[in-house]
Structure 1
Amino acid sequence: MKLLLTSGGITNASIRDALLDLLGKPIADSTALCIPTAEYGHPWCTPFSAWRFVTGQTPAGRPTAPMCDLGWKAVGLLELTALTTIGEERWVPWLQEADVLLVDGGDATYLCHWMRESGLADLLPSLPEKVWVGVSAGSMVMTPRIGDDFVSWKGADGDDSTLGVVDFSIFPHLNHPDMPWNTIANAEKWAADIVGPAYAIDEDTAIKVVGGTVEVVSEGQWRHFPS
């Protein structure tokens, strides 16, 4: 699977160009499935914020972070909590026919739980040409750990582990005005606890991963923490 791991979505021309490179064709010729599942595991999220993600509606006065409203050929909704009840014979073809998965933020451990429960996590290795575009938790779920500070929903394991598709962790929303605690100093403390390679990224930064090659795409601020 090709990954574009963002903090805030497709926020600038550089990240958009990276998306186009991964798709290998125009957005207008590409079909997307959006996944809002992570929203339901985070106390800051509501049905209204999930709707805004799916419909591409940004509240007045907030910076835009286009995802579902980029001009796709078609956009569908894939809710992971429903998949276990309808059978793989129905939803796996939907997944296979889409070019890109647009995965919203919220709680990464909750998203990880439902990716495993639904069977989506097991399918990822069989989808090498599929593009995964994550926002915040939708990016963090691909890492080995997210750090205790980012866990707001604890499943049966009760820890901060996620899928480990990539070998680094992500501290999102660096220097975000609505999250004054997301400073580089706190990112350094977080990275020390992670005990592994990690990146702190702001809303204008993304991490592109193809075939094990990692590339930072940024018009903003970011920091790499080696292991």
Structure 2
Amino acid sequence: MKLLLTSAGVNNQSIQNALVGMLDKPIADSNALCIPTAMYGHPWVGPGVKTWEFISGKSENPMVNLGWKSVGVLELTALPSISRDHWEPLVRETDVLLVSGGDALFLYHWMRQSGLAELLPSLKAVYVGMSAGSMVMAPKIGKYFVGWTSPTGGDETLGLVDFAIFPHLDHVMLPDNTMGAAESWVAEIQGPAYAIDDQTAIKVIDGAVEVVSEGNWRHFTL
């Protein structure tokens, strides 16, 4: 499984180079599916214009607008009400999944409900997450990031990587996302983690982890 876990999309050349290397072919020859589901669970970004901007490639966070051969939409909340035969072949054949930010617990819930979660480990596609789309891969997100309340009431997520992610480190619009806040968050989750800014991504290929950055980040090894 190939994961490119970003804070705010493919924001610089280093992250884009990593993506192209993982695809093993040019972006212009690759087919993508974008997944906006996490946005609906977060009051800042959805539903509404922000969701449309992500899907249409007009977002300020480079994901959909990188020059893909084709881009489709995979809305996880719709999948439980249609035949799996209508969407699973499409997911298995695509080159890349582009997963938006928003609410990580809402995304986790619908990944499980839709059946996508069980497919992820076997997919050939490169998974590119942004913010919540990256955080959902962790064992848990920590109480600091809990917004939408899951049916279980917890903060558990997929656990497809063994570390948690604190995104948007030192972001000008998120003054609480400091390194000190990240340290307190790590002390609460009691596990390995990365704090990353919007110029940083974490590349994971078959369990091997590499940080790709033109910015600031920190690895916590509690």
Aligned pairs for 1:99-114 within 5 A: 99-114=95-110
Report whether the alignment pairs 1:217 with 2:218: no
In 2, the alpha carbon distance for the partners of 1:3 and 1:74 equals 20
In 2, the alpha carbon distance for the partners of 1:197 and 1:172 equals 14
In 2, the alpha carbon distance for the partners of 1:223 and 1:134 equals 19
Give the counterpart of 1:189 among 170, 176, 184: 184
For 1:178, the aligned partner's letter is M
Q: CA deviation at 1:97?
A: 1.5
For 2:152, the aligned partner's letter is D
For 1:107, the aligned partner's letter is D
Q: Gaps (5+ residues) in structure 2? A: none
Aligned pairs for 1:114-193 within 5 A: 114-127=110-123, 129-193=124-188
Encode CA deviations 1:43-90: one digit per residue, 9 max, x unaligned: 1122111111111214xxxxx321100000000000000001111111
SS at match of 2:32: strand
SS at match of 1:182: coil
Cα pair 1:43 1:152 within 8 Å, conserved: no
In 2, the alpha carbon distance for the partners of 1:130 and 1:32 equals 9
In 1, the alpha carbon distance for the partners of 2:7 and 2:68 equals 21
Cα pair 1:142 1:163 within 8 Å, conserved: yes
SS at match of 2:218: strand
Instruction: Report the TM-score when normalising by structure 2.
Output: 0.98
Q: CA deviation at 1:33?
A: 0.1
Give the counterpart of 2:71 among 64, 75, 80: 75
In 2, the alpha carbon distance for the partners of 1:56 and 1:99 equals 18
Instruction: Report the TM-score when normalising by structure 1.
Output: 0.96
In 2, the alpha carbon distance for the partners of 1:69 and 1:54 equals 9
In 1, the alpha carbon distance for the partners of 2:141 and 2:50 equals 22
Percent pairwise identity: 62
Q: CA deviation at 1:125?
A: 2.0
SS at match of 2:195: strand
SS at match of 2:25: coil
SS at match of 1:84: helix
Report whether the alignment pairs 1:21 with 2:27: no
Moved over 3 A (4+): none
Encode CA deviations 1:89-146: one digit per residue, 9 max, x unaligned: 110011012100000000000000000000000111221x210000000000000011
Q: CA deviation at 1:31?
A: 0.1
In 2, the alpha carbon distance for the partners of 1:48 and 1:149 equals 26
